[in-house]
Structure 1
Amino acid sequence: MAGFDSQRWSLKGMTALVTGGTKGIGYAIVEELAGLGATVHTCARNQAQILERLQEWESKGFKVTGSVCDLTSKAQRENLIKTVNSAATCTLRGTTDYTLEDFSSMMKTNVESPYHLSQLAHPLLKASGNASIVFVASIAGVVALPKLSAYAATKSAVIQISKNLACEWAKDNIRTNAVAPWAVNTGVKVESDGHSDDFRRLIGRTPIQRLAQPNEISSLITFLCLPAASYINGQVISVDGGFTFKQNIPMAGFNSQRWSLKGMTALVTGGTKGIGYAIVEELAGLGATVHTCARNEAQIVERLQEWEDKGFKVTGSVCDLTCKAQRENLIKTVSCIFNGKLNILVSLFIALTFLFLYVLCVKISELGQWCTIDHINIVPA
């Protein structure tokens, strides 16, 4: 066994930017990186907090500087570089209780900010010859959790960005990984709109039945920045006290009723060709009553005749999903046909944003009763 190499476990001579570093996980990350010898710059919105933290770190002998930055501002992001990003916003609400403003705000803070900072930082990261990006994602981006649909969408996006950058930028000697924490005791009260009981029940299902401490997350993030982690790239590492592992429950025995869609209703957007057409065929073939839509009326008429010949229960209508008014009319049509109930939504949007998908889900939930969403697919143009 070779002798211990301290250089592999040191960040001396390295530089780091930690966004949101004055409290919670961000604060713990600054402490870990600076403690291992890195020169760190951090930013936050509150100047008083920055000054207080800088004085604290100076007294500890850490090399840390700081500046005021609102990461939702493109101009202010352009003044920064990034290796670790921990700034995020989270609100616990039911899907129908989120406003479009809530959704857009989360996407801007949790997705646009770190993505844009990565773009801006790329030349600097490449010039270093040995760089590491660590995104702070969330367990909510890995498994489905109640009251977190908008937040989960942003963290799933961060995870996918991390994987793509790991492939694209490895040639530039830039490693990219993501850390997905479970609930962390940051000392900040999460806006929950009265859903604290749901939160407590989830913690009760965690094998280590307590919240994580910030330094239990920052230790892993710091490790990923070390030379010792030089071959770790493209990973999403959960720090969750065993929560996601416990969710892997064995499947029950086979039941033919579980593989039937008789009596169920489905909406499939873009169902006249390609994947959408195949999905309509599968669902109708298993007994579901299906409604589909497309921009081309002639294609819809042709497909409806085909499905009628096959004995499938399928209706269709013309809809341009990029138009808000037509999306709303689509849901009204579906509500009328299916008597206000929908079991399955399969959304194949060509060149459509997450925002449009979110709006459609909200509108459908307003029908009052749906049983499940089996698939949500976004197919790129």
Structure 2
Amino acid sequence: MWNLNNKRILITGGTKGIGRAAVIETLKLGARVLFTARNQDEVASFQQELRDARFSATGLVSDIADAANRQDIISWVREHWGALDVLVNNAGMNIRKSTLDFTPEEYRKILAVNLIAPFELSRGLHALLAKGQHPAIINVASVAGFLDVQTGSPYAMSKAALIQQTKNLAVEWAKDRIRVNSLSPWFTETPLTEALLLNETKVHEVLSRTPLKRVGRAEEMATIIAFLAMDTSSYITGQNIIADGGMSAMALFNAVE
């Protein structure tokens, strides 16, 4: 049971960071993977890299915030697989600003990518997941969904709602055998956090709050995604798995040693 043999897995935002690591991890465990990303060159390059490694993976150029693009993803799954075993709603974005500085276009885009797109993909793929083998949805949320970690309020709002979406769908869709869980990472080495992690002051603040005294790695998050996709995690649903190096468990502040 500690494998993903022949699992049909869709991973959004699959060319960078946690998404890329999840694509590689699930393929190594025997899955067939469809991944999406917006940049055509990045999709083509990663798909060729995977093919060269003899993995069964397909890349689609898609902006999941666009309804037509979402329908294209759903149509591909229906036409090529006829069912879906695992949906990983990983794609996300952020704009870091003070609340009063956001334009309506900016915060609506964050909500569209981080919240509305996972909601609509989950709804649109429900029938195909219901046909899958031990189907599961995994939403990549964030500790920003339940703590203020200075990410900006729209991002935090979107992740908080995504965690609640996870819980509601887990209960509502249990009758359809679809498990739904979320993963909430703390600061992780990804393109989304690259600029911040080059800031020594910010890194000091992060490590001061983290008992393990380091940031996370995308590969560590990918292993959690893989586990939640496995049949061996079949009694886990409606949960938000926090991967934060102990940050949310620490009551007293410790300086970086």
Q: 2:54 aligns with which of 61, 64, 70?
A: 61
User: Residue 148 of structure 2: SS of its match in structure 1?
Assistant: coil
Please state if 1:112 is matched with 2:116. Answer: yes
Q: Which moved more, 1:118-127 or 1:77-86?
A: 77-86
Q: Identity over the aligned pairs, expressed in percent? A: 38
Please state if 1:145 is matched with 2:149. Answer: yes
How many residue pairs get aligned? The number is 241
Residue 191 of structure 1, CA deviation: 6.8
TM-score by length of 1: 0.60
Cα distance, 1:196–1:61 mapped onto 2, change above 3 Å: same
Aligned counterparts of 1:15 and 1:29: Cα–Cα separation in 2 = 13
Aligned counterparts of 2:233 and 2:151: Cα–Cα separation in 1 = 35
Contact 1:94 1:147 in 2 (8 A): no
Name which one, 1 or 2, has greater alpha-carbon Rg. Answer: 1
State the partner residue of 2:64.
71
Q: 1:223 aligns with which of 207, 221, 227?
A: 227
Q: 1:50 aligns with which of 16, 36, 43?
A: 43
TM-score by length of 2: 0.88
User: Residue 205 of structure 2: SS of its match in structure 1?
Assistant: helix
What is the Cα-based RMSD across aligned positions, in Å? 2.0
Contact 2:11 2:34 in 1 (8 A): yes
Instruction: Specify which structure has the bigger relative contact order, considering alpha-carbon pairs within 8 angstroms and separated by 6 or more residues.
Output: 2
User: Residue 12 of structure 1: SS of its match in structure 2?
Assistant: coil
Which amino acid is 1:203 matched to?
A: L
Please state if 1:205 is matched with 2:198. Answer: no
Contact 2:136 2:180 in 1 (8 A): yes
State the partner residue of 1:22.
15
User: Residue 135 of structure 1: SS of its match in structure 2?
Assistant: strand
Aligned counterparts of 1:181 and 1:232: Cα–Cα separation in 2 = 18
Q: 2:240 aligns with which of 231, 236, 241?
A: 236
Runs of 5+ consecutive residues of structure 1 not aligned to the other structure? 1-7, 250-381
Cα distance, 1:190–1:106 mapped onto 2, change above 3 Å: farther
Aligned counterparts of 2:190 and 2:202: Cα–Cα separation in 1 = 19
- Aligned counterparts, 1:1-381, within 5 A: 8-81=1-74, 83-188=87-192, 197-198=201-202, 200-247=204-251
Contact 2:187 2:193 in 1 (8 A): no
Residue 187 of structure 1, CA deviation: 3.7
Contact 1:106 1:154 in 2 (8 A): yes
Residue 112 of structure 1, CA deviation: 0.6
Which amino acid is 1:21 matched to?
A: G
Which amino acid is 1:11 matched to?
A: L
